[in-house]
Amino acid sequence: MNIAVLSGKGGTGKTTVSTNLALALKANYVDCDVEEPNGFLFLKPKVDVVESVKVEYPIIDDHKCTACGACANICQFNALAKVRDDLILFQKLCHSCGACEIVCKYNAVTYGKREIGKIEKGTSRYIKCSRGILNISEPMAVPVIKELLENLSGEVNLIDCPPGTSCNVINALKYTDAAILVTEPSEFGLHDLKMAVELVKMHNIPFGIVINKDDKKDNIIKRYCKEEKIMLVGTIDYSKNTAILYSKGKILYDDLHHKIIFDKLSQKIKEVLAWN
Amino acid sequence: MELVVISGKGGTGKTTIATALAEIAKDVIRIDCDVDAPNLYLFYKGKDIEKKGFIGGKKASINESMCKKCGKCETVCKFQAITDFKVNLFECEGCGACTLVCPNNAIELKDQNIANTFITELDKGIISRAEMKIGGDGSGKLVNYLRKNGRKFNCDDKLTIVDGSPGIGCSVISSISGSDAVLIVTEPTKSGLEDLIRVVNLCEHFEIFIMVCINKYDINEEMTRKIESFVSKKGLELVGKIPYDDTVMKSINELKPITFYKESIAEKAIEDMWHTIKKFI
Amino acid sequence: MKIAISSSGKNAEDLLDTRFGRCKYFQIHDTESGKVKIIENKGQSSSGGAGIAASNQLIDEKVNAIITGSLGPNAFELVQKSGIKAYKCSSIDINSALHKYKNNELEEIKTLGPAHH
């Protein structure tokens, strides 16, 4: 069972919720915010596996190549260009689609592999942790996300998603059975929450909302949940102490006040998802 | 002169600060490049004077009447985007490999409308922004277009302030490349510092002038010192330290830029920061 | 000699567009015949590799020189390898830019400019 934690807006508390909920649920923690993975800062797992994430790129055999330029013409991403009799590859633009090999009449195209990121796996306390890291200046995160999520075990996995609703998040949702949407009680929070709600509904993923930095009042998010008949899984109160613990990289679950909050959340999630 | 405000980590206060700077600088062009979560326009009651559909990229489309269901397209697709002779638009990357192998020419690549772009007129200046359709691909291209479209309205060479997106991927790369300077907004937390390091690395890769400001600096003075030390070691410019201020949340909920709250300590610090920034840009 | 100039418009009075990969048009001026060919820059509509798409077009058009503001790293590499000379000019009208070129007043682009993605 894969549970995705996403938010639309950045900084609402996805990582705070997923790391602590993973401990409360005794579930595996998977950080797929591969551009800025933060979860390990808090969980501090002992990493015992590091894997390279590689993508394919075309290699052109000079002996067979006639410089016809068909590969450069077919490439939808401008990754290949023909200059005089040379074919030049712009690696970072290549989507590894294979179209250049298909179109080449002279069998001059083969593929090599290059690294764009890494996967790290380890254990923290009693849970398994994994994360993907995209190498700096690489524009495409999706291959790292796919490799991270493709082979997850059949246990309960809490997937810490990237912010936003773009292709990164969409790819994470492909491996998701249920979603928790984390928001904050503000106009910005609501505005971006609506986009995240639309996204999960589009993918027919059952979901619930967690309000982080809650003001304990009847706020716009609570009203929105009532109006739209959306499940409010729980709230996490705002407190300066929470912010201070977070800033130090501390696990909130180690603090009794917060342990109670996350245990309550995890109980509600188990009820809602009807699992024992 | 184009200043891009980015953060690496989400939620550090990019939009709050970008908006405040734009207000203080007065007559500026605002560009909201955080196309996944565009919040800048919420602060204003502007009027949309332009709305256009935006073509992001192409995706494959199978003509059912010509399809002989041979399955060659499905075999060749590296993104598992074709199943049961139907293209899954979320998976399809528009590479065209399937169009090459279809024996009946039943597949073509079609332009995809991924967003609506807007020019929103304010009392002073405009906002160039977009509303992306859910699941839209090609945000790098959209970001580039928003910058270009904003520039079109900049006849008298006004200052342009860009509200960027979190992360370090193609959207951010597209926001910063070709601009004059970046202001990285960070927060004094462990995550904040770690993400700051990654986004600084990215900016260095693109050889752009880097300024840093620490938002909510007083929630952890030890982390603030660590960040200051990092900034100094890297030879970057620390242009501001903004104190934590409850008024900021108030300003977001009342949807008024922080500059409307003259008593706000954050507001005062941002004004001081602007004086410092002006020396560099 | 065919000279391509990155431009915001189709007329000789229009301004030079300093950004190569994403300019709207290229005005290709043939100095011998005096003819002008206007092409729409394919780089504009590219998701990525705008500079590459633009360079490819000009290579196909067999231009001998380019006048623009700067070239990003991808375009620079292509243009260099193709043997086309590139010259730096600010955003003045096309007529004036050509004039400066003919009088050898324009500096050659020898280093990379910033990339546009």
Residue B50 located in a structural domain: no
Residue B49 located in a structural domain: no
Subunit partners of chain C (3 or more CB pairs within 8 A): A, B
Give yes or no: residues B80 and B132 share one domain. no
C-alpha span between B101 and A99 (Å, rounded): 10
Give yes or no: residues B8 and B40 share one domain. yes
| Model pLDDT, residue C20 | 87
Give yes or no: residues B26 and B92 share one domain. no
Q: Does A154 touch chain C (CB under 8 A)?
A: no
C-alpha span between B281 and C8 (Å, rounded): 26
Q: Which residue of A has its CA nearest to C77?
A: A88
Give yes or no: residues B167 and B135 share one domain. yes
End-to-end Cα distance, chain A:
12
A202: which chain B residues are within 8 Å (Cβ-Cβ)? 134-135
Give yes or no: residues B172 and B267 share one domain. yes
Question: Does B144 sit within 8 Å of C22, measured CB to CB?
Answer: yes
- Residue A91, min C-alpha distance to chain C (Å): 11
Does residue B68 register a pLDDT over 60? yes
Domain limits at C90?
Answer: 2-108
Q: Does B204 touch chain C (CB under 8 A)?
A: no
Read off the tokens for B205: 């890769």
Q: For residue B144, give the nearest of C72, C114, C116 by CB distance.
A: C116
Q: Encode pLDDT of C4-50 as tens digits.
A: 999 989 999 999 988 788 888 999 999 999 999 999 998 877 767 88
Read off the tokens for B233: 């070691």
* pLDDT band per the 50, 70, 90 thresholds, residue A274: low
Domain limits at B209?
Answer: 2-44+122-280
C41: which chain B residues are within 8 Å (Cβ-Cβ)? none
* pLDDT band per the 50, 70, 90 thresholds, residue A241: confident
Best of A73, A75, A78, A89 to mutate (most C CBs within 10 Å, chain C): A78
Question: Where do the domains of chain A lie?
Answer: 2-53+116-272, 62-107
C-alpha span between B72 and B89 (Å, rounded): 18
Q: Encode pLDDT of C94-106 as tens digits.
A: 999 999 999 999 9
B208: which chain C residues are within 8 Å (Cβ-Cβ)? 114
Read off the tokens for A17: 């919720």
Question: Does A36 sit within 8 Å of B168, measured CB to CB?
Answer: yes
Q: For residue B189, give the nearest of A191, A199, A247 by CB distance.
A: A247
Give B77 or A86, the one with higher predicted confidence: B77
**One fold for A2-53+116-272 and A62-107:** no
Read off the tokens for B250: 């108030």
Rounded (to 5) percent helix, strand, coil in chain A: 35, 30, 35
Longest dimension (CA), chain C: 37
Question: Does A72 sit within 8 Å of C81, measured CB to CB?
Answer: no
Does residue B156 register a pLDDT over 80? no
The answer to whether residues B54 and B136 touch, using CB atoms and an 8 Å cutoff, is no
Number of domains in chain B: 2
Q: What is the mean pLDDT of chain B?
A: 92
Q: For residue A36, give the nearest of B97, B100, B198 by CB distance.
A: B198
Question: Does C48 sit within 8 Å of B141, measured CB to CB?
Answer: yes
Q: Supply the pTM of this predicted model.
A: 0.85
Q: Coil, strand or helix: which one is A5? A: strand
Q: What is the mean pLDDT of residues B137-154?
A: 84
Does residue A234 register a pLDDT over 60? yes
C47: which chain B residues are within 8 Å (Cβ-Cβ)? 56-57, 138, 140-141
Q: Encode pLDDT of A6-57 as tens digits.
A: 998 888 999 999 999 999 999 999 999 999 899 999 999 999 999 999 999 9
CATH number at residue B23: 3.40.50.300
Give yes or no: residues B38 and B64 share one domain. no
Residue C82 located in a structural domain: yes
Residue B51 located in a structural domain: no
- Residue B91, min C-alpha distance to chain C (Å): 17
Q: Which residue has the tokens 């890297």?
A: B234
Give me the CATH topology for the region A2-53+116-272: Rossmann fold (3.40.50)
Give yes or no: residues B138 and B225 share one domain. yes
Domain covering A62-107 in this structure, CATH number? 3.30.70.20
Q: What is the mean pLDDT of residues B62-91?
A: 94
Number of domains in chain C: 1
CATH number at residue C93: 3.30.420.130
C-alpha span between A131 and A225 (Å, rounded): 32
The answer to whether residues C115 and C51 touch, using CB atoms and an 8 Å cutoff, is yes
Give yes or no: residues B82 and B198 share one domain. no
* pLDDT band per the 50, 70, 90 thresholds, residue A123: very high
Q: Does A167 touch chain C (CB under 8 A)?
A: no
Residue C116 located in a structural domain: no
